[in-house]
Amino acid sequence: MSKKLLSILLMTVFVSSIILSGCKKDEDNNNPSPVTGKTGTFVDTRDSKEYKWVEIGNQVWMSENLSYTGNDIKNISDNFDWYDNSTADAWSYYDNTESNSGTYGVLYQWKAAEIACPDGWHLPTDADWKELESYLKEKGYSYDGVVGNDKIAKSLATNLGWKSSNNLGAVGNTDFSDYRNVTGFSATASGFRAYTGEFDKNNEECYFWSATKDANDNYGNRKLSFDSSKMYTFHDNNKYGFSVRCIKD
């Protein structure tokens, strides 16, 4: 091979490597970088309580659990009365302990949840929840940063009070700390109250009501768990006591 031909081949390889390197950088720059959106506060004029909110994509969510306890919904502490409440418009503190509301807000039966959101806000529909989930998947909020993955739970949860887990990317695992609550949604392990009145799963799980019910009159909700990296969809009896995150109209 002549020196001239060898020189041409070497120059071609060099130029090609520069082009490929540039393309790789462009691809890296086009990868989404999860960030926390705009934040702020608002005051519920019904009881003068102040709540935090966060912008996620085109939505504005409360970034803490609702704790409204007005006269248009009723507090039920007794287990039998909770189970016997056919109107499903009751609320309670976790374990009937008011001090829990500071961290976990209030647990609502479904009808109470529908009533409880303040003016200008509403109980999120299934479509609202799906929009949130789709946005997080498409923008790389999965704990490993891979676009399209549904392992988004860590990006929604604080590190406050969750039971420890060794499962990769789980809410209760301390791994992938850069993705911890990067959305600013700030979910806490608020547990739930069963339709029979018993309290359970504080420090392990949280459930959020949806405004949408299925054909069998089971009511939608979303779940985060300490030992999982995903957000789950369930449908339950409307007498369960779950947390509420209102979304701006």
For the stretch 100-112, pLDDT in tens is 999 999 999 999 9
- Distance CA(68)–CA(41), nearest Å, equals 16
What backbone phi and psi angles, to 5 degrees, belong to 165? -140, 150
Say what percent of the chain tops pLDDT 70. Answer: 87
Of 18 and 235, more confident: 235
Of 7 and 237, more confident: 237
CA dihedral 63, 128, 240, 69 (to 10 degrees): 50
- Distance CA(56)–CA(135), nearest Å, equals 8
Residue 3 has pLDDT above 70, yes or no: no
Per the prediction, the chain carries an average pLDDT of 90
Residue 18 has pLDDT above 80, yes or no: no
- Tell me the CB-side half-sphere exposure of residue 26, using CA atoms within 13 A: 6
**Would you place residue 215 in the very low, low, confident or very high pLDDT band (cuts 50, 70, 90)?**
confident
- Distance CA(82)–CA(194), nearest Å, equals 9
* H runs (alpha helix) in 31-74: none
pTM of the entire predicted model: 0.86
What letter would DSSP give residue 243? B
Residue 176 has pLDDT above 80, yes or no: yes
Query: What are the boundaries of each domain within the chain?
Result: 1-31, 39-248
- Condensed to tens digits (0 to 9), the pLDDT of residues 65-101 reads 999 999 999 999 999 999 999 999 999 999 999 999 9
Q: Which two tokens stand for residue 57?
A: 């994509």
Of 20 and 216, more confident: 216
